[in-house]
Structure 1
Amino acid sequence: MKKLLKFIFYFLITLKISSQEITLSGFVKDSLQNPLPYANVLAKPKDVSKNLKFAITDEEGYYKLKLKKGDTLTVNISYIGYITNNFEFIASKNTKKDFILQQSSEQLDEIIIEMPVMIKGDTTTYKTEKFVDGSERKLKNVLKKLPGVEVDKKGNVTVQGKKITQMLVDGKKFFGGNSKLAVENIPADAVGNVEVIDNYNEIAFLKNVSDSDEMAMNIKLKEDKKQFIFGDVETGKGNQDFYKTNANLFYYSPKTNINFIGNTNNINEKTFTFKDYLNFSGGVNAVFKGNFDFTGQDFSQFLESADLQSSKQNFGALNITKTTNSKLDISGYAIFSNTNTSSFIENLNEYTNFNEEKTNKTDADNLLGIGNFNIEYTPNNLEKWHIKTQFKRTNNYSQNAITSLINTNTNTITTDRNLKSTYINQNIEWHKRQSSKHTFSTVLNYVYNKNNRNHFWQTKDPIFNNLIPIEKEQETFKINQIKNTKKQNIDAVFKHFWELNNNNHIYTTLGNMFLNESFLTKESQELDNGNINNFSISEFGNDLNFKLNDLFLGIHYKFRTGIFTFKQGFYAHNYHWKTNQQTNLSKNKWVVLPDFLAKIEFTKSKKIQFNYNLKTSFSDASKFANRFYLQSYNSVFRGNENLENNLFHNARIYYRKFSLYRGVLLNASLNYTKQIRGIRNVVNFDNINQFLTVKLFNNPSESINGNIRLEKRIKEIKYKFNVGFNNSIYKQEINNSIQINKNNNYNYKVGIETLFDNFPTLEIGLKREIGKFISSNNNSKFATLEPFVSIDYDFLKGFIFNFDYSRSNYQNKTLGQKNIYEIANGTLSYKKQDSAWSYKIIAQNIFNTKFRQSNSFTDYLISDTKTYILPRVFMFSIGYNL
């Protein structure tokens, strides 16, 4: 592998770049020397068998065309409302040529129709027929040929350096707006025009008031492709009984869309990831952003595991959208996921005054179902209703075996966990543009969330010492726990948008959010003789009802002047909460939360933005529970009924610059958070056993993190640089002693990528991560150095080769430990251009690496982790495209 990397490196250094290409560049301006941004520049070869070349000018009116040396071309420069300029050009050498366009007094309909790219406000329309040559298979192949559009390996789409967050087909969300499913499955010959909509809001008349930073892509289907079935099925068999089968089937017609996705495999190939779960988790319109906080909770926990020893996954999803008439759309989807997994993890844990060696083996069976039903009613262009219902159900069961070694003392404990969760969300939204100055939005939201957890711990070794009232004279220690929570939220929010004029807006928000949460715990010991030792007599067992009412009023003023936009205001919250348990408490307080936004938009592709918020949050009911309960096999927790709200400053500054023809992408961000008042864990150790509670601290933590991403294209090589850091300082109380801890993390990534037309796409780079943990008792430092290479190569009219390799050099510098492991994966596929059949050879973990290594920090624990992964997989699969 070292020889391969050296070969690639020297090859790139010695490569003669673009010897057969020349560049035509310059500026397009009007008669007053003002730049004309987004003008169309086309170069049509005299040889009709060759593809046309195309460019659009940037905000400075600059364009750049790469032309094949020796070609004779007609260059056409057009701009709406201006007379088209044409000239003949022979591509013999690099040439700079500026153009002056004269305004036209006539409506040039014919010219407008011929424009490959049209920009109107925040919408850019690509006429794809001007860029494709008929060899494209899927949507991703079409998008890669559009100027300023990129598609990465994960199916993410960016335009002018900004990520597409919603994917639409004929104006309707494609399976929750998922770009990956769209680019991998929509057939190229069905694609008409492509629209890119910046500052997107699904309700058009809210666009100017929603402060949305989303970008949507709308795929307009060709008229003769408005009704079709497409998709693919694939099945594969590998070594050691590895297998996979998947199907992606789609039906589209003007009024009915049906999408089905199915997958079953045991190679840890996830069709449904944590990110996908969030996309399907529902929620409200973007205008209510900041008023609602939807989280994954217990439903998504099993989706996050990436490294497993074994994995069996079954997944199915069905999505149906029906347009009944011009005013009413009905849609819904159902998702089913079942996973059976095994994981094995080795930890070296550094506590305050001792170390622990721990192994952790888990077998899990996780079942998840999601159902969603939406009604969208549009009585007219100025009014919109949404009725959304979502149901989620999960049943997760796991068996866990832990072996802990401390100072030659070994404890082995097994844990059975069972989690059943039910979630129902119903919301009704109403949006109305009353006049040119007044717009109203209202949402009524109800959430029911019930979680029932059962834990059963079993061991032959003494546990917990004196932390729990355990009967010690037993052959086997058996502990049962029931831990149930039930939440109900009833929320109502009303917003009024007052547009004084185009540059001055006043926004008013009035709302009330009510939470009713119950928390129940019961612990007991099952004795050898069958009797039950109930812990409730020793201050165990909670039965808490927690109610929180949040009545709030928000007023914000937004104004624009030139390239500047400012928005400032505040939310005034009246919080009233009650805890009903052995003792009842009732508290009330006002909290005023100011916020500020400033944005300088030099051009559409260059802006800087600053945000500041004073934020607050309340803990869940379990933190208020004033009796003991078990958190894990070695920790006992007791809440604090006197807790109040967290309060913290949050500030962020962000800069973005993109230049298509200068080949520059720059994103930089800096975030700062400081807790004025915050809740943190307080821990007392008895060897590995822990007693925890929570306390409200003043100024408990402060953190700052930043990131810079820079990409620069020089001819056919793209250079990439990414650097980030995350530094935090926080208080913690351990064994009745306050100490200050620091957690500093740094990382960078450098790489180069080739972009030749008839050459493999190669990416070579280096990643470096450094973690430092500093406390009053010890210091720890970890470092990982990871060179990597990836290859994507289309060759011999139908073959595609993909390969990725990384070599991780992991070091625990505190203990002087080192580990080197290599991960490599490859795929070779073949599909004849006019054939529906495809063939693929897959290789995963080619070097049969046993584990990955990483580190992590918590308030009182430093952990060095080895996570074992699937063995080598070789697989052959056959696919069929509809």
Structure 2
Amino acid sequence: MQEILIEKFNDLNIVLQPRITELKEVIVEHKTPDIVEKKDTLLYNLNNLLVGSELKLSDVIKKLPGLSIDSNKKIRFNGNILDHILIDGDEFFRDNHQLATENITAEMIDKIELLKNYQDLSSLKGFENSGENALNIKIKKNFKDNFKGNIDIEGGVKERYKTQGNVFNFGGKSKFHLIANSNNLNENIFSPLDYLELRKITGKNLLRDKLILGQEVTIEKDIPSFVFAQDNINKIDSRNVTLNFTKKPNEKKRIELVTIFNKSRILEKNQNLLTYLDNNSSNMIDDYSSTGNSIYNSSVFKFQNKLNENSFFQTNFYLFLSLDKQNQDLNNLLIDNQEQTLFKNKINLNSTKTGFNVEYKTKLSEKLLFESVLFNDYNFSKTEKVYQSNKTFDGFNHNDNYIEQFSNFKSLSFGLKSKATYKFNKSTLDFKFISTLDNESLSNINNINSFYNFDDDFLLSSNSISTFFSSDITKKLKYNINLDFTNNNHESKNNFKRTINVLLPKFNMSYKVTSKTSCSIGYNLKINNPNIYNFISGNLVENQRTTWLRSNLISEKMLADNINTSINYIDITKSIFFNFSISYSNNRKQLATNFNNDNLATIQEYQYIDFGNSTNFSLTFDKKFKQIPLGLGFSSNNSISYNKTISNNIKNNNRFNQNNIDFNLKSYFKNKPNFDIGIIYLSNFNQFETEIATNKSELQTYIPYIKLEGTLFNKKINWKINSTYNIFDSSSFETQNIFDLSTRVQYTTKKKISIYFNANNLLNIRDNNLKNNFLQTDILLQETSMNTLSGFANFGINYSF
């Protein structure tokens, strides 16, 4: 610095010398959030969450906070099953979650978003549908508007194989997906729950509104055995063709077709220990083997038309066909006296269900909406049972070793629902009328004697009038009240004609504690209706040692109380998802079974009983950390049930406790191997109190697991290693623990050809697994040692086009 004294400013001339100061490099960092919330939409940042080793949509979903895939292959958001799966905003896969998660590849996915208040085509402005969760999968442009797909062929030791062809075309107006699969690895295209939910659109299922406490459980008879063939089979060979097609000619019309064909051949081999609760009958050991063939076809056609901004029309046509044949060999051993009985059983079941329904709703004004639904269903099933033994069937008063029985069931159903909704201020008032008619018939022919031959009819007509009121007390507090007056008329051929009237209340209140926390509590009273099997006029053979006695009952009022409460917490900025719920159900009266058992046979008959309750607890927690690439997950489902059973006309007290707990920790490393480690705990505790003694049994299973995955050589090689250790602790059976090691290594070439090695249960390829299972009924405990599928090691090739 220099100082200059200036006396004259006129001649002043100052020249400044430039000086350059170099700034150091400035780096501006901004880490994008894992999830972005915009109103009712959660947009997942796949760049943050995916690690590069994902192959299928299922792999992607497991990395997304708040989302999971349960043991039934269903996608859950914060513990609750997703209502819809969308492809580019279209309801393509609907409830068939496994079809989407196992067949959409990770490279097809552009974006994934969770819609918390999804409105479908039927929604009318001002009368929007109750908000449901939907997962919207956005497809990349190069996978749209043309036919794409892949072909998988693999095979290896012990003649284990799989072939699958996948063809899809996801366009703006039309979407098409075809799967053709053949395998003996026990890989089903759809899960059992997917199969059941496919029938939600039939008959009375369509008339049921969503309950305050959740959705109605769909109960179906005559389910094909292959659907539930999970871990209890020795061998399986199945073939499946599934087609999904939708077309939207314009924004107001939509056509949908889902058709499934499946053919399976199944071999089962089990050893069962049967402990009878009456303490009089001898316990038994059953060596059981069965060869079954199942053919199943399901087709659903849907047409939707939004006639204008104020009206909507929809119709569904459906056809379900099933053919199930089983040939069983059973060696029955009485433990007390070591007496053996050999059975050869043949069981054939053919069933058909078809029908249609029509739905129409129109907005008569800005405050008034009218809706109506009409359905017609026809259900037919035919059952043939043939039992042959090395001894006579003395327990059935039959002096022969051969029993043949033919049963035919028919059901014709009609139904109508009309509903008017009026809106004023912040409240809604509904009036609803429902009328249904079910005409069931059951005929039976048996070679034992005339008591087993009958022809019955059962008529159930129901009419109900209900009113529903909902209101927002404040922005945070909401409630609704429903009163339903139901008139049920039951008529059994030459037996009784009974009218039952009942008032069914429902109530629910929800409170938004904060923007992140909400809670709810609800109650409803439900009536359960009987069916024709509860009022048969003759005896009916159930299996080779069990028969139902003719019923002298008449219809009675069977009510059940249901209470539910839950708390829900979601913090998107911290990627925290928490849900806890408790539900309690109490049966005021229900139909129970009275068992009269001896070493020769078990005789069953229906009786009314006025006790039975259950409590269910469910908790889920999911957290994705920001500062470290880790995610933490915990889920727990627990149930405690108390009920009474009747054995030899004596009431017994029963207590059941079931638990399913899963804890896991997973990593999110980029360009590094990743892990998913955890432990699953399963348990069944049971206690039966009779007048003579108390019987207890338990089965606990501990399953620690480690899953590793990663990529090599610029993602040309994708690898996965899964190790699971099954530890069994049973009160009766001693089963060797099982270490299950599985792996898949895939190399992808530039020509869209992949070569892979796929192996499951590598340490047990030559022999079959032996695993424990547990089943309780009102009369006995059954602990099973199952011969399950052995491991395999296959080489395969995949071609994408």
Gap runs ≥5 in structure 2: 1-24
Question: Matched residues in 1 for 2:31 and 2:284: separation?
Answer: 72
Alignment match, 1:744: 657
**CA drift at 1:132:** 9.5
Counterpart residue type for residue 648 of structure 1: A
SS in 1 for 2:743: strand
Change beyond 3 A, Cα 1:294–1:725: closer
Alignment match, 2:757: 841
Alignment match, 2:800: 881
SS in 1 for 2:147: strand
Gap runs ≥5 in structure 1: 1-69, 79-114, 526-534
Q: Deviations over 1:159-203 (max 9, x none)?
A: 677654312223322234544444554566765665532133424
Q: Deviations over 1:126-149 (max 9, x none)?
A: 798999999997667887888877
Alignment match, 1:99: none
Q: Is the 8 A contact 1:725 1:745 kept in 2?
A: yes
Question: Matched residues in 2 for 1:237 and 1:861: separation?
Answer: 42
SS in 1 for 2:762: coil
**CA drift at 1:846:** 1.8
Equivalent of 2:310, from 382, 397, 417? 382
Question: Matched residues in 2 for 1:831 and 1:154: separation?
Answer: 31
SS in 2 for 1:297: coil
**CA drift at 1:310:** 0.8
Q: Deviations over 1:759-781 (max 9, x none)?
A: 33322223333332222323223
SS in 2 for 1:267: coil
Question: Matched residues in 1 for 2:430 and 2:544: separation?
Answer: 51
Alignment match, 2:563: 651
Of residues 819-828 and 632-641 in structure 1, the stretch that sits farther from structure 2 once superposed is 819-828
SS in 2 for 1:324: strand
Equivalent runs, 1:104-119 vs 2, <5 Å: 119=38
**CA drift at 1:485:** 0.7
Question: Matched residues in 1 for 2:356 and 2:229: separation?
Answer: 30
Alignment match, 1:828: 745
Equivalent runs, 1:273-292 vs 2, <5 Å: 273-283=191-201, 288-289=209-210
SS in 2 for 1:289: coil
Counterpart residue type for residue 387 of structure 1: T
Change beyond 3 A, Cα 1:292–1:795: same
Question: Matched residues in 2 for 1:143 and 1:772: separation?
Answer: 33
Question: Matched residues in 2 for 1:684 and 1:137: separation?
Answer: 55
**CA drift at 1:74:** 5.8
Structure with more contact order per residue of length (Cα contacts < 8 Å, sep ≥ 6)? 2
Equivalent runs, 1:254-403 vs 2, <5 Å: 254-283=172-201, 288-289=209-210, 294-307=218-231, 308-351=233-276, 352-353=278-279, 354-403=282-331
Q: Is the 8 A contact 1:770 1:781 kept in 2?
A: no
SS in 2 for 1:337: strand
Alignment match, 1:630: 541
Q: TM-score, with normalisation over the residues of structure 1?
A: 0.79
Pairing 1:550–2:480 present: no
Question: Matched residues in 1 for 2:129 and 2:52: separation?
Answer: 40
Of residues 158-167 and 634-643 in structure 1, the stretch that sits farther from structure 2 once superposed is 158-167
**CA drift at 1:222:** 6.0
Equivalent of 2:354, from 412, 420, 424? 424
Counterpart residue type for residue 762 of structure 2: I
Equivalent of 1:709, from 606, 612, 620? 620
Question: Matched residues in 2 for 1:130 and 1:845: separation?
Answer: 33
Equivalent of 2:404, from 480, 485, 489? 480
Question: Matched residues in 1 for 2:723 and 2:141: separation?
Answer: 44
Question: Matched residues in 2 for 1:795 and 1:439: separation?
Answer: 60
Question: Matched residues in 2 for 1:680 and 1:155: separation?
Answer: 33
Equivalent of 1:434, from 328, 346, 364? 364
Pairing 1:443–2:373 present: yes
Counterpart residue type for residue 654 of structure 2: N
Q: Deviations over 1:525-581 (max 9, x none)?
A: 5xxxxxxxxx11xx222211000011001111111122111111121100111001x
Q: Is the 8 A contact 1:205 1:382 kept in 2?
A: no
What is the count of residue pairs matched by the alignment? Answer: 753
Change beyond 3 A, Cα 1:483–1:160: closer
SS in 2 for 1:278: helix
Alignment match, 2:607: 695
Of residues 309-318 and 834-843 in structure 1, the stretch that sits farther from structure 2 once superposed is 834-843
Alignment match, 1:607: 518
Change beyond 3 A, Cα 1:395–1:387: same
Q: Is the 8 A contact 1:226 1:252 kept in 2?
A: yes
Alignment match, 2:8: none
Equivalent of 2:485, from 564, 572, 581? 572
Q: Is the 8 A contact 1:160 1:660 kept in 2?
A: no
Q: Is the 8 A contact 1:201 1:286 kept in 2?
A: no
- RMSD, aligned CA: 3.1
Q: Is the 8 A contact 1:751 1:763 kept in 2?
A: yes
Q: Deviations over 1:210-254 (max 9, x none)?
A: 774531133455677641222211011111211110011012333
Question: Matched residues in 1 for 2:125 and 2:77: separation?
Answer: 19
SS in 1 for 2:196: helix
Equivalent runs, 1:153-232 vs 2, <5 Å: 164-186=82-104, 194-203=112-121, 205=123, 212=130, 214-220=132-138, 226-232=144-150
Counterpart residue type for residue 518 of structure 1: S
Q: Deviations over 1:412-466 (max 9, x none)?
A: 1111011111110200011222332112221101111100000000011233x2x
Counterpart residue type for residue 720 of structure 1: G
SS in 2 for 1:642: coil
Alignment match, 2:496: 585
Question: Matched residues in 2 for 1:133 and 1:722: separation?
Answer: 24
Equivalent of 1:861, from 780, 788, 794? 780
Of residues 756-765 and 437-446 in structure 1, the stretch that sits farther from structure 2 once superposed is 756-765
Alignment match, 2:13: none
Pairing 1:619–2:538 present: no
SS in 2 for 1:435: coil
Q: Is the 8 A contact 1:806 1:822 kept in 2?
A: yes
Question: Matched residues in 1 for 2:436 and 2:785: separation?
Answer: 44
Counterpart residue type for residue 609 of structure 2: F
**CA drift at 1:627:** 1.6
Pairing 1:513–2:436 present: yes
Q: Is the 8 A contact 1:720 1:752 kept in 2?
A: yes
SS in 1 for 2:195: helix
Question: Matched residues in 2 for 1:646 and 1:569: separation?
Answer: 20
Change beyond 3 A, Cα 1:152–1:202: same
Change beyond 3 A, Cα 1:153–1:790: farther
Q: Is the 8 A contact 2:83 2:94 kept in 1?
A: no
**CA drift at 1:374:** 1.6
Question: Matched residues in 2 for 1:677 and 1:327: separation?
Answer: 48
Q: Deviations over 1:38-83 (max 9, x none)?
A: xxxxxxxxxxxxxxxxxxxxxxxxxxxxxxxx982265999xxxxx
**CA drift at 1:609:** 1.9
Q: Deviations over 1:356-392 (max 9, x none)?
A: 1111111000000112222111211221111110011
**CA drift at 1:151:** 7.5
Identity of aligned residues (%): 22
Q: Is the 8 A contact 1:443 1:494 kept in 2?
A: yes
Equivalent of 2:28, from 73, 89, 104? 73
Counterpart residue type for residue 457 of structure 2: N
SS in 2 for 1:280: helix
Question: Matched residues in 2 for 1:165 and 1:690: separation?
Answer: 43
Change beyond 3 A, Cα 1:759–1:193: closer
Equivalent of 1:596, from 507, 510, 514? 507
Alignment match, 2:591: 679
SS in 2 for 1:276: helix
Alignment match, 2:21: none
Of residues 799-808 and 243-252 in structure 1, the stretch that sits farther from structure 2 once superposed is 799-808
